[in-house]
Amino acid sequence: MRAVVAVDVGGTTLKGAVVDATGAVLALRVVPTRSPETSPGTSSPGAPAASLHALVAGLVADARSAGSEVAGVGVASPGLVDAASGTVEFAANLGWRSYPLVAELGERFGLPARVDHDARAALLAERSARRDPLTGDLPRDMAFVPVGTGVASAVATGGVVLAGGTGAAGELGHVVVVPGGERCACGQRGCVEAYASAASIARRYTARGGPVGATAADVAARLGHDDAADTVWGEAVTCLAQAVAALVAIVDPQLVVVGGGLSQAGPALADPLAAALGTALPWRQPPQLDLSRVGPGAGLVGAALLALDAAGVPAADDFHQRARSGAGALQHAAAPRATTGGRR
C-alpha cells in the first residue's frame, strides 16, 4: 500500500504522520521544532530544517516498518508560503527566508513534495470533510477562519484556493475593527487579533480581574457566571463578527468555518457569532456559519492531502474521517509531550 508523509510545522513542535489514501494513520511522531542542543530563542534556519529532515526520515522508516512505501511528502507551514515554487518566503518563528523546502525534501528523499500555508492546508482538510456524499463535490466557495494564538483566514473561491499575489492572503487577524483600540503586535491598534484570539481573550480577562494564567477555555467555561468573562467574550465575538463580515463583503463565501482552539468552545462561540454576523450584515443574507469538523489536526490532515496530491494518489472519499481521528490521536499524544518538551 502506498502512503504519504504529512508534517504540520509549528513554532514549538513539528507534528508528523504517515497516512495512506484511505486516511488510515500508520504512524505518528511529534518532535520539538528546535533540537534540544539549540537554544529555544535561536533563529538559525538550520535548526527547524534539521528537525524537519530528521522527522521525515523517521516517518519514512515508520512507513517501511508498516509495510508501506512513501510516495510523497506534504508540509503545512506558517509564514509567507509560495506553494507554486515550494518555497517558504518568510517565517519569523522558524528563521526561514526564501527557504526552498520542496526542492530540499526532493533532493534528500527523492520524493515529490508540496508545501502550503497552514491555514490553507487546514482549509483543504475542512473542505474535504464537507465533500458531498452523493455527488463527491467539494464546497466551491468557503472560508476557513482559524482562531487560536492568532486569527487568520483561508478562502476557496470558485473551487480555487486563494493564495494572493505574494502568498500573503489570509491575514484576517490584522483587519482593524476598533480604530484606536488595543495594541497589536503588528504595530497597529484595534486589530481583530488583539480582541478575539485565544491569547487576547485570556489577556483581556486577566486585565479585568480574572485570575492570572486563565485561558480562553476558562473564560468560555465561566460564561453566564462571571461578568468579566461575559464582557471579554462578548467583545471578542463582536470583533470577530466584524472581521468576518468584511471578508464576506469582499469575497462572498457561502460557508464560513471557524476553527482553531477557540472553536472547541462549541455553541458558546457559534451561537453568539452567528447572531453577531447577522447584525453585521444587515444588507445581505449572511453565509452559513459552521465550526471545524476536523479539529486541531486540520493542518496535519491538510498536509496529508497536499502529499497525496504531490504523489498523484487520489484521496478516498472517506479519507478525512479516518485521517481526522488519527490526527486527533496525535493531538492528544502531542499535547503533554509538547509541554514537557518531550522527544522521541
| Interaction site with a second copy (CB under 8 A) | 140-142, 153, 155, 157-158, 160, 162-172, 174-179, 186-188, 242, 245-247, 249-255, 280, 282-285, 287
Residue 135's Cβ-count burial label (10 Å; 0-12, 13-18, 19+) is exposed
**Length of the chain as a residue count:** 344
The smaller minimum CB distance to a second copy, of residues 29 and 120, is found at: 120
Q: How far is the CB of 202 from a second copy (least distance, A)?
A: 22
* Rounded Cα gap, residues 63 and 25, in angstroms: 10
Q: How far is the CB of 150 from a second copy (least distance, A)?
A: 12
Q: How far is the CB of 97 from a second copy (least distance, A)?
A: 14
* Rounded Cα gap, residues 299 and 314, in angstroms: 18
The smaller minimum CB distance to a second copy, of residues 13 and 197, is found at: 197
The smaller minimum CB distance to a second copy, of residues 254 and 339, is found at: 254
* Rounded Cα gap, residues 280 and 213, in angstroms: 32
Q: How far is the CB of 164 from a second copy (least distance, A)?
A: 3
* Rounded Cα gap, residues 156 and 238, in angstroms: 24
The smaller minimum CB distance to a second copy, of residues 166 and 339, is found at: 166
The smaller minimum CB distance to a second copy, of residues 153 and 292, is found at: 153
Phi, psi at residue 288, to the nearest 5°? -65, 140
Closest to 58 (Cα-Cα) out of 92, 16, 25: 16
The smaller minimum CB distance to a second copy, of residues 11 and 58, is found at: 11
Q: What is the largest CA-CA distance in the chain?
A: 59
* Rounded Cα gap, residues 337 and 335, in angstroms: 5
Q: How far is the CB of 315 from a second copy (least distance, A)?
A: 22
Closest to 273 (Cα-Cα) out of 260, 286, 254: 286
176 by DSSP, 3-state: which? strand
The smaller minimum CB distance to a second copy, of residues 282 and 336, is found at: 282
The smaller minimum CB distance to a second copy, of residues 190 and 295, is found at: 190
Q: How far is CA 187 from CA 78, 131, 176, 252, 271, in A?
A: 20, 40, 11, 29, 32
Name every residue whose Cβ is closer than 8 Å to that of residue 232 and which is 6 or more positions away in sequence. Answer: 201, 204, 205, 208, 210, 219
* Rounded Cα gap, residues 111 and 102, in angstroms: 9
Q: State which H helix or E strand residue 109 sits in.
A: helix 101-109
Q: How far is the CB of 76 from a second copy (least distance, A)?
A: 18
Q: How far is the CB of 167 from a second copy (least distance, A)?
A: 7
Q: How far is the CB of 158 from a second copy (least distance, A)?
A: 6
